[in-house]
Structure 1
Amino acid sequence: MTDDQIQAEQTLVAWARIETWLKAHAPRTFERLPAPATEGELRSLEQDLDLTVPADVRAFYLVSNGTGPASDFDWPTSRDAPEPTGYFLPDGEGIGPLENLGTWFEGPVAAERLDDEPGQRYLPITTIDPDGFYGSFVDCTPGQGYGLLGDYAEAEFPDPGEATFAAYLTEVANALSEGRGFGGDSAPRVVDGRLDWR
């Protein structure tokens, strides 16, 4: 198996574990998981943004187009809208649907790129708010850092990391199954059928 195939398989295994946990313990979060994205939608995103989505991120989107419905990642338009459940990852983050990634790409991360590195391709993938101003990105720049996650925040330079998306999801799955915290968060808890790490 190639490294790409291994990482894609790790992602699928980790996400299946997360879904199994959600179904058993946080059914309201599980019920709002979106349908898969299509290969065509992924190719369209890549063409629009001039980048190649890493294999582990691609594998995730082909089983779930984010961690909640698209409406969770837009500002609410009505008091009658369901309460968002898509921000259930540690630190209150959610993985946005493909249709949001292009907007986030043109927003905070693009504005923070160094002028002397115009070839950088940082694709925002998680966020804590509908504007996508804070969260993590996957490095889609060909070369040494390709496929690694990093952090970004409005008015700050992106901070490259050392872990892959597959490794991140695996650690989330491990924390859930072991009932322990993740990073600085407390142990996962369920509130009214929803997963909440905070």
Structure 2
Amino acid sequence: MTGRIPRTRDIEARQVADAWARIETWIARHAPRTRTLLLGGASRDTVTALQRQTGARIPSSLSALWARCAGTRADRHSTFLMGGHALMRLETVATKYGQEMEFQRRYTDSAVTWRAAWIPVFSFSADDQTSGLYLDAESGRLCRWTRYAQHHPEVAYESLTEFLEEMADSLENPGLATSDEPGLVEGALVWGSRIHPDDVHLWTRLTA
């Protein structure tokens, strides 16, 4: 037998990259304002430096996402991800991770509020990390965090791939969207769950 069997993490990285490419292609065609908010990809050295700084093991699936886009600029429409989340900038990831690990070290005894394998990825907004989704590097699941201590993981998605593929499917076939409804506000991608009161009359639901 020639060649090698693709490793699971290689497959996941490719799936994430493919799903993000679908999302970015849709945004480039339909949401020009959102497109201006996307940062460029992070280099391998930058991700390695983040890993060294935090001490966390960065899964290849997450590295694949950051290689395509390393966060979003601060803007009222930065929450363009399904469910109304913002993609955190890498420096914000490091800060949030450090804060949570320091709280774990200093203010808890036997209770677990944050684990070393929990890497914050999506937040309430580009500049507000009171809630969001973290990637559990051990299980591969996306779980919720809030301003309150997380003693037990609340699973939101089984994987980063699942989240991004569902978002891509919802954009390409909005009639099949189940988790949230995609729409547009003056060239910005805005999900039904996070419409700003000032934008209600401007929001246009996507149709097939």
TM-score calculated relative to the size of structure 2:
0.78
| 1:28 Cα offset (Å) | 1.1
Identity %: 26
Please point out which of 151, 154, 169 is paired with 2:147.
154
One of 106, 117, 126 as aligned partner of 1:121: 117
The one-letter code matched in structure 2 to 1:11 is V
Q: Which runs of 5+ in 1 are unaligned?
A: 73-82
SS in 2 for 1:90: coil
TM-superposition CA deviations, 1:46-89 (whole Å, max 9, x none) = 111111111111001011112x22xx1xxxxxxxxxx4432101
Kept after mapping to 1: 8 A contact 2:34/2:78: yes
Distance in 2 of aligned mates of 1:126 and 1:97:
9
Matches within 5 A, 1:1-198: 1-66=6-71, 68-69=72-73, 72=74, 83-108=75-100, 111=103, 115-116=109-110, 120-129=116-125, 130-141=127-138, 145=139, 147-157=140-150, 159-161=153-155, 163-180=158-175, 181-183=177-179, 185=180, 187-198=181-192
Question: What TM-score comes out, normalization by structure 1 length?
Answer: 0.81
Structure with higher Rg: it is: 2
Contact 2:16/2:65, CA 8 A, preserved across alignment: yes
The number of aligned residues is 179
Extract unaligned runs of 5+ from structure 2.
1-5, 193-208
Alpha-carbon distance in structure 2 between the residues aligned to 1:23 and 1:193: 10
- SS of alignment partner, residue 128 of structure 2: coil
Is the 1:108–1:132 Cα contact (8 Å) retained in structure 2? no
Alpha carbons of 1:14 and 1:48: their partners in 2 closer, same or farther (altered >3 Å)?
Answer: same
Q: Does the CA contact (< 8 Å) of 1:108 and 1:154 recur in 2?
A: no
1:151-179 deviations in Å (ceiling 9; x for gaps)? 10011315242511122111110111111
Residue 38 of structure 1: CA displacement?
1.1
After superposition, the CA RMSD in angstroms is 2.2
Corresponding residue for 2:197?
none
The offset of 1:119, in angstroms, is 5.6
Do the aligned residues in 2 keep the contact of 1:11 with 1:166 (CA within 8 Å)? yes
AA aligned to 2:158 is A
